[in-house]
Amino acid sequence: MTAPRLVVVDYGMGNLASVAKALERAGAAVTVSDTPEAVRAAGAVVLPGVGAFRDAAARLDASGLGAAVVERITAGVPFLGVCLGLQLLFESSAEGGRRPGLGVLRGTVERLETGLKVPHIGWNTLEWRPAGAGMAAGLPAPAAVYFVHSYAAVPADRGVVAAVTDYGGPHVAAVARDNVWAVQFHPEKSSAVGLRLLRNFVTVAARGG
Residue positions annotated with a catalytic role: 83, 186, 188
Radius of gyration of the chain (CA): 15
Question: CB under 8 Å to 19, separation ≥6 — which residues?
Answer: 8, 46, 48, 82, 188
The helix or strand, by DSSP H or E, that contains position 86, with its residue range, turns out to be helix 84-87
Contact in structure between 79 and 180 (CB atoms under 8 Å): yes
64 DSSP β-pair partners: none
Whether the Cβ atoms of residue 60 and residue 11 lie closer than 8 Å to each other: yes
Q: Strand, coil or helix: what is 116?
A: coil
Residue 89 Cα to chain centre, angstroms: 9
For 49, other C-beta atoms within 10 Å of its C-beta total: 26
